[in-house]
């Protein structure tokens, strides 16, 4: 999977932000009374409690799949890959806290009253090999445990086991719902087709027209198969607002002749 080097986004912060509604906003965090309201990851975070702002992994990539062969997920929707907390310089850590790795995400979500979220994930967060549980556990173990604002010392007092992961998956689900890539493309007349091809500029311009910012697109054998949306985070995973910016580099798709294939088995 290709990673990209970020660039300075201070000038973009005032342009737009993506509010992610949280079902947990009524929960007070232990550090909540000392958190600055305007703290944004990858900005001037020196001296700010890591419970209050994502650090060092303050560059967030919301990633989605277009699984066309074999077909996975609804035929008129992309699916979730994850949310990756890269460092502000483009490097990244993975598997940051083995003590918090959960082998069964279904149990974690049901134990925290997130049955509706689990049903949604079974439809929109699917593994190409059919093992959703393995996929979800990998995303949490590798990436979720690296997010500072849901570290154990940042959680509400008396939290149930796995509430940190419940926050993480809920946050990603709400972010995904606010980024309907299929609709972004469809609104510009770009729909899956066996014969049509598109230029990279056509695809990215269509998404920018709807979303406001340029994504990065990856292709497999000349066919569109994944997308990367770039964000910083104002606040925390529990109650924060995503601050989008243009992808600093394009992904692996060629400049021309890109296929957007229908999902098929």
| Active centre residues (catalytic) | 81, 139, 143
Q: From CA 58, how far away is CA 76, in angstroms rounded?
A: 31
How many residues in total does the chain contain?
A: 265
Task: Give the CA angle between residues 79, 75, 229 to the nearest 5°.
Answer: 30
Nearest-angstrom CA–CA distance, 12 and 99? 37
Sign of CA dihedral 238, 27, 156, 28: positive
DSSP string computed for 13-30: TTT--EE---TTTTSPPT
Could you tell me how far CA 25 lies from the centroid of its own chain? 19
Q: b/e for 88-127, b at 16 or more Cβ within 10 A?
A: beeebeeebeeebebeebbebbeebebeebbebbeebbbb
């Amino acid at each position: 999977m290709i990673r990209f080097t970020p660039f300075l986004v201070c000038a973009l912060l005032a342009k737009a932000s993506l509010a992610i509604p949280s079902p947990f906003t009524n929960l007070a965090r232990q550090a909540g009374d000392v958190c600055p309201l305007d703290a944004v990851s990858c900005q001037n975070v020196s001296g700010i409690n890591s419970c209050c702002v994502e650090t060092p992994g303050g560059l967030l990539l919301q990633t989605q799949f277009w699984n066309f062969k074999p077909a996975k997920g609804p035929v008129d929707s992309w699916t979730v890959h994850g949310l990756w907390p890269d460092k502000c310089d483009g490097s990244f850590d993975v598997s940051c806290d083995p003590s918090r790795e959960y082998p069964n995400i279904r149990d974690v979500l049901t134990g925290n009253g997130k049955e509706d979220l689990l049903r949604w994930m079974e439809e929109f967060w699917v593994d190409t090999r059919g093992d959703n549980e393995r996929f979800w556990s990998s995303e949490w173990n590798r990436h979720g445990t690296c997010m500072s604002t849901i570290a154990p010392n940042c959680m509400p007092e008396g939290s149930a086991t796995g509430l940190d992961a419940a926050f993480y998956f809920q946050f990603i689900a709400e972010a995904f719902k606010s980024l309907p890539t299929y609709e972004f493309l469809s609104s510009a007349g770009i729909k899956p087709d066996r014969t049509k091809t598109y230029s990279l500029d056509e695809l990215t311009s269509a998404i920018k027209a709807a979303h406001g910012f340029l994504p990065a697109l990856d292709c497999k054998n000349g066919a569109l198969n994944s997308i990367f949306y770039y964000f910083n985070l104002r606040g925390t995973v529990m109650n924060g607002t995503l601050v989008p910016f243009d992808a600093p580099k394009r992904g692996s798709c060629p400049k021309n002749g890109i296929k957007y294939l229908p999902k098929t088995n």
